[in-house]
Amino acid sequence: MLHKQMRDPYHHLLTQEDVATRMCCQVLRNLQTYLVEEELKMMKADAECTSVRLSVLPVIVLTHLRVI
């Protein structure tokens, strides 16, 4: 989600006036779904004590929401 190829289309959809509100809402729902899935993966990994990793979720949120 942080790579330019993924980030730029989302930023375009969130910032352009010619994009329908429904499309902006869908983009935000997609981001929410992605974040929830990543959080669930992290919780599962923590519960199993198999891996410890730093959260990239705040970076993803800031990357996409600061353009709004």
Q: What is the pLDDT of residues 33-68, one digit of tens each?
A: 999 999 999 888 877 654 445 566 777 777 887 777
38, with CB counted inside 10 A (0-12, 13-18, 19+), is middle
Quick check: 53 and 42 in contact, CB under 8 A?
yes
> Number of folded domains in the chain?
1
Quick check: 32 and 24 in contact, CB under 8 A?
no
Residue with tokens 């709004």: 68
What's the CA gap between 54 and 61, in Å, rounded?
15
Which has the minimum average pLDDT: 1-5, 19-23, 25-29? 1-5
Instruction: Using the predicted structure, report yes or no on whether residue 10 has a pLDDT greater than 70.
Output: yes
Domain that includes residue 23, residue range? 4-65
Q: Provide the pLDDT for residue 51.
A: 47
